[in-house]
A and B are shown apart, each in its own frame.
Chain A
Amino acid sequence: MKILVGIKRVVDYNVRVRVLPDGSGVDTEGVKMSVNPFDEIALEEALRLREAGKASEVIVVSAGGDECQQQLRTGLAMGADRAIQIKTDGPLQPLSAARALLKVTEREQPGLVILGKQAIDDDNNQTGQMLAALWNRPQATFASEVVLDGEKATVTREVDAGLETIEVDLPAVVTVDLRLNEPRFVKLPDIMKAKRKPLDVLPLEELGVAVENDLAINTYSPPPQRQKGIMVETTEQLVQELKNRGLL
């Protein structure tokens, strides 16, 4: 069984993102770019399934410009067998990303597609659910545990009320939450080895996917700032202050 893992190149989670003064976007000039942290977890899970003998091949796929090859190489260094770049210049909204991933899914026929639950740039949290809809297959979102058993997977999901368990027939789409696993670190020799692993480039147009970004982003603005507050010296002062404000 093959496992397909979606990887998005995003601004590193440690970067404090700033809106450009003219409101046309955020400042990504010279900023550190990384694999979306959820996607690292998705890939780690795929690798563990392969190492446990439950999968034969792990393929990483990213839709984006040539710069996303850097993140695909990171995926290969982590241990993926091969990589596919769906080449496209502009940004893809989730429906287009899902359509592009569907084409690759149809070509590769994986038993499992594992994606992050959300990309931490646009925080959309949509692509996996959309891919599952278009593919007409099960979705198991926000996974904190995945158990494969023959033709089905039992997935524990992090939901607001606690931990929900569902069972899905394969093939299926799983999106991962943070506590599923802790991704391995990439070692230097693996980076060298990754350079020789195959990375195919598929232009989006050749896949027959038209980019349809039906939501227009008009302006970017910084979030409203909270007023800086006061410091108190003692617990008594803290309680007094809260009482003065009618909060206790």
Chain B
Amino acid sequence: MSKILIVAEHDGQQLNLSTAKCVSCAQKIGGDVDIAVLGQNVDGVAAQAAAIGGISRVITVSADHLEHPLAANWAPEITTLAADYSHVLAPSTTFGKDLMPRVAALAGVNQFSDVMEVLDERTFTRPIYAGNAIIKVSAAAGSLVAMTVRTASWQAAAGEGQASIEARDASHADSGHTRYVGLKSEGGERPDLQSAPMVVSGGRALGSEENFSIIYQLADKLGAGVGASRAAVDAGYVPNDMQVGQTGKIIAPDLYWAFGISGAIQHITGIKDAGTIVAVNKDAEAPIFEVADIGLVGDLFTVIPELEQLLD
């Protein structure tokens, strides 16, 4: 039977929703599922992890040098814990993408990146070429299975759990060579892009940071999260954490609005799993219309004010 360890993602206060998505993936693999919570003073986060349904144990490792998820300090701890497990999972967020390959290398295995489906306990599917192909991949028998879980492919595990919490001491000292300096976060009170049921995105067509405010206004009216194309981020209209796509965030809202986004393959990769895609573009030939469920050819600067009126 599989023994699965999930590495919790959190900010010291709040467990990230991606952890519960990893739990769904682990449940599909089947077996005993534990969650590792590393950090400093992680009792609050550990309690949140223990409340997810279907977890056997939550293991905490608390130390000053583990306060921030620096891969150089976290990877040796996870690798030590993983010795008791057949599988180790982290979400395919920037947190997991940074950490997990370092864990895999220390354990001497390759990693499965962005796992979409579980076919059996050692066989998975994952996207390559920006999602233009899906491969079925298997791990050699006997080796540790290390993976990042493509969060857009999985629902958060629900349920009321009461896992036991077990505190362990750190097995490794501070690497000494990597130091956390700080985080600049511009995310305001808007719904989190990665978990919002509705997302409104704008592209290069917005033309300026000021103009982008019409996207925020519409999003606020709809209670939606806000995203952007790479072109809009590169042009400085919005901060980098709003980028949707192959090299930004992969999201799966129930409803996605794309305003003035052409629909480059790298952008589409980020929204393939959206429930419904609405596209507004003044070019009837824009590739976004090939994937949109509802398309409207028009000028976004006319359509958005009309929408706002109709929504009042």
Most A Cβ at <10 Å: residue of B123, B176, B295? B295
Which residue of the partner chain A has the closest CB to B291?
Answer: A226
Complex CA gap A129/B106 in Å reads: 10
Chain B residues, CB < 8 A from A126: 101, 104-105, 110-111, 113
Evaluate whether A26 and B241 lie within 8 angstroms (CB atoms) in the complex, with A94-B101, A232-B295 already known.
no
Which parts of A106-120 form the interface with B (CB within 8 Å)?
117-118, 120
Which residue on B lies nearest to A165, using beta carbons?
B181
B143 and A214 contact, CB distance less than 8 A:
yes
Q: Is B189 an interface residue (CB 8 A)?
A: no
Give every chain A residue within 8 A of B94 (Cβ-Cβ): 141-142, 157-160
In-complex Cβ contact of A94 among B110, B240, B265 (8 A): B110
A235 touching B298 in the complex, CB below 8 Å, given contacts A134-B105, A138-B72, A161-B11: yes
Chain B neighbourhood of A222, CB < 8 A: 132-134
The residue in chain B whose Cβ has the minimal distance to the Cβ of A159 is B94
CB distance from A86 to the nearest CB of B (A): 18
Q: Is B307 an interface residue (CB 8 A)?
A: yes
A235→B300 CA distance, assembly (Å):
10
Interface residue total, chain B, C-beta cutoff 8 A: 87
Residue contact B129 to A121, C-beta cutoff 8 Å:
yes
For the complex formed, measure the closest distance between the CB of A57 and the CB atoms of chain B, giving whole angstroms.
Answer: 23
Interface residues contributed by chain A, number (CB under 8 Å): 83
Check A226 against B272 for contact (C-beta < 8 Å): yes
Contacting B at CB under 8 A, from A201-242, are 213-223, 226-239, 241-242
State A234–B299 Cα separation when bound (angstroms): 11
Contact pick for A120, options B129, B298, B307, B310, CB 8 Å: B129
Cα distance A234–B112 in the bound complex, in angstroms: 45
Contacts A133-B105, A141-B98, A235-B310; is A161 near B187 (CB within 8 Å)?
yes
Residues of B within 8 A of A127 (CB): 101
Residues from chain A with Cβ under 8 Å of B123 in the complex: 218
Q: Which of A120, A215, A220 has the most C-beta atoms of chain B within 10 angstroms of its own C-beta?
A: A215
Cβ of A137 within 8 Å of any chain B Cβ, yes or no, is: yes
Residue B102 CB within 8 A of the other chain: yes
Residues B134 and A161 in contact, CB atoms below 8 Å apart:
no
Contacts of A178 in B (CB 8 A): 230, 234, 247
Given contacts A123-B127, A126-B101, A126-B113, contact A235 B133 (CB under 8 A): no
How far is B180's CA from A11's CA once the two chains are assembled, in angstroms?
36
Interface of A is mostly: mixed
A93, A129, A245: the one within 8 Å of B276 (CB): A245
Interface status of B95 (Cβ within 8 A of chain A): yes
A156-194 Cβ-contact flags toward B at 8 Å (1 or 0): 011111111111110010000111000000000000000
Q: Which A residues are in CB contact (< 8 Å) with B249?
A: 160
- Are B101 and A129 in touch, CB under 8 angstroms? yes
Contacts of A161 in B (CB 8 A): 11, 183, 185, 187, 241
A14-25 vs B, Cβ < 8 Å mask (1 yes, 0 no):
001111000000
The residue among A19, A178, A227 with the most chain B CB atoms within 10 A of its own CB is A178
Which residue in chain A gives the minimum CB-CB distance to B76? A133
- Closest Cβ of chain A: how far from B311's Cβ, in Å? 7
Q: A130-B104, A213-B110 are in contact. Are A158 and B240 (CB under 8 A)?
A: yes
From known contacts A125-B97, A231-B297, infer whether A137 and B255 are also in contact, taking CB-CB under 8 Å. Answer: no
Q: Is the CB of A179 within 8 A of B104?
A: no
Q: Is the CB of B180 within 8 A of A223?
A: no
Q: Specify which of A17, A232, A233 is in contact with B133 (CB 8 Å cutoff).
A: A17
Residue in chain B with minimal CB distance to A161: B185
A93 proximity list for chain B (CB < 8 A): 110
Pairwise interchain contact B187-A214, C-beta atoms closer than 8 A:
no
B240→A230 contact, CB < 8 A: no
- Pair B110/A18 contact, Cβ less than 8 Å: no
Q: Give the contacting residue for B132; candidates A16, A158, A159; CB below 8 A.
A: A16
Q: With an 8 A cutoff between CB atoms, is B70 at the interface?
A: yes
Which residues of A lie under 8 Å from residue B297 when comparing CB positions? 231
Q: Beyond A94-B101, A160-B241, A241-B294, is A223–B137 a contact (Cβ under 8 Å)?
A: no
CB-contacts of B216-271 with A (<8 A): 230, 233-234, 239-241, 246-247, 249, 254-255, 265-266
* Contact status A220-B98, CB under 8 Å: no
The answer to the question of A70 belonging to the interface, with a C-beta cut-off of 8 Å to chain B, is no
15 pairs across A/B with beta carbons < 8 Å? A16-B132, A19-B132, A123-B127, A133-B75, A142-B98, A144-B240, A158-B241, A162-B241, A163-B241, A168-B177, A216-B138, A218-B135, A221-B133, A221-B135, A228-B290
Q: Which 7 A-B pairs have the closest CB atoms?
A: A129-B101, A229-B293, A130-B105, A162-B185, A126-B101, A133-B105, A235-B306
